[in-house]
Amino acid sequence: MTNEGHITASARLPQFELLRVLCMFGIVVNHFFTYGLDIYGLRADAFSIPLDGFASATLWGILEAIKLISLVSVNCFVLISGYFMVGTDSFRFKGMYRVWFQTLFYGVAVYLFMLVAGTDTFSWQQMLKLFFPVSTNRYWFITSYIALMAVAPFLSRMVSSLDRRNYGILLLLGFVLCFQYPFGQMFVDPQQLVLFAYLFLVGGYIRRFGTFPYLTDFRCVVLLLFVFCAMMAVTLVKNLTDAHEPFLIYAMGYNSLVLPFSVIVFILVVKSGCPAFLRRMLPSVSPYVLAVYLVHSHPVFQDWMWQGIGKSVMSFPLSFMPLLCLGWSLLIFVVCIIVERVRHFLFSLIR
């Protein structure tokens, strides 16, 4: 989620910066379902949609599709890192420090803000956890991402001498071991580090051998639609076999069908460009996206924020839910970007 390690290369490839922005927005959307709508029933009964006709079935399909598409975000972040860091065989202590420091800053700053606002009470135990965000795993992604950055030089050296055939065999074996069924449950750890390492290698392969003449844009789109339809079919079957009425919004693991879906999306990005008007906007957004994750996923702040949002959206008709999902997610995204830009400005004055 940081530009460290690939800012120079990605600056020449704005489609990757655009992908980073879209992925961060996707993470917020994903969290809207998880914590705002509480689709897992973490606080109460899981969010569901009564199927009483074509309109409600369509609404379920739209929301399920938004949820599934948002799941590619984390995988694509790691693919970007592999794409730009696979040729680096030295430790990036500076990049790791920047991620750690930004995580520490927002962990403590947001908590202090909540204390001042009167939405929480002070706890030394909570403060100590926020002062050591990585060792206490306050943000699971950050912990796993820093660990990936630590092993990245060894992964790069491991594959540096592999030709296309042997690298491809390694990725095929990795897919068999990482994919959810039948082995993924055994080999992919709860922190997803094994999956992250695999995605890193996939991104590196695409960087080194990224000419896919047989994989045209049209075929990529067809394959993408096929995998997406399979994902939707799985969620439909799960609702039917579990005899859910009303229907639930189901998610999938990052190593499920989301894995090949993410890789196809990434390949399309590699093969595509970026509209000129978006290129002009990216420098004012892309360097600041890590803060979006750190602020809105703050372990104390997120519960308070999402409970309030969840109560507000449920006061609207269900048909408004797709717009409310995208609207709230965009608002959170923009506010967090503004906060990070202000932080950068203030820090620049101190320096």
Residues 285, 325: contact at Cβ < 8 Å? no
DSSP classification of residue 49: E
For residue 276 the two structure tokens come to: 């000129």
> What is the C-alpha separation between 5 and 88, in angstroms, rounded?
8
Domains contained in the chain, number: 1
- Using DSSP's 3-state secondary structure scheme, residue 255 falls into coil
10-residue mean pLDDT profile of the chain (351 residues): values are 41 82 97 95 88 91 98 96 87 88 95 91 89 90 94 93 94 95 88 95 92 83 96 95 85 96 94 82 92 95 94 94 97 97 90 70
> Residues near 177 by Cβ (< 8 Å), separated by ≥ 6?
183, 184, 187
Q: Give how far Cα 281 sits from Cα of 159, 268, 285, Å.
A: 36, 21, 7
The per-residue pLDDT for 10 is 43
Answer yes or no: is 223 within a domain: yes
Answer yes or no: is 100 within a domain: yes
178, amino acid identity: C
Answer yes or no: is 71 within a domain: yes
| Full 3-state SS string of 198-209 | HHHHHHHHHHHC
Answer yes or no: is 1 within a domain: no
Measured on CA atoms in the order 332, 74, 279, 340, is the torsion positive or negative? positive
The per-residue pLDDT for 195 is 96
> What is the C-alpha separation between 133 and 139, in angstroms, rounded?
7
| Full 3-state SS string of 207-225 | HHCCCCCCCCHHHHHHHHH
> What is the C-alpha separation between 92 and 123, in angstroms, rounded?
34
- Domain around 211: 7-350
The per-residue pLDDT for 90 is 80
Cis peptide, bond prior to residue 246, ω within 30 of zero? yes
> What is the C-alpha separation between 16 and 77, in angstroms, rounded?
10
Indicate the Cα dihedral angle 345, 136, 39, 119, nearest 10°.
-60
> What is the C-alpha separation between 208 and 94, in angstroms, rounded?
25
The per-residue pLDDT for 12 is 55
50: left (phi over 0), alpha (psi -120 to 50) or beta: beta
The residues facing 248 across adjacent strands are: 48
The number of beta carbons lying within 10 Å of the beta carbon of residue 211 is 8
Angle at CA 10, nearest 5°, toward 6 and 15? Answer: 140
Closest of 206, 208, 98, 82 to residue 155, by C-alpha: 82
Answer yes or no: is 293 within a domain: yes
Answer yes or no: is 96 within a domain: yes
The per-residue pLDDT for 229 is 98
- Using DSSP's 3-state secondary structure scheme, residue 340 falls into helix
The per-residue pLDDT for 92 is 81
Answer yes or no: is 2 within a domain: no
Answer yes or no: is 72 within a domain: yes
The per-residue pLDDT for 273 is 78
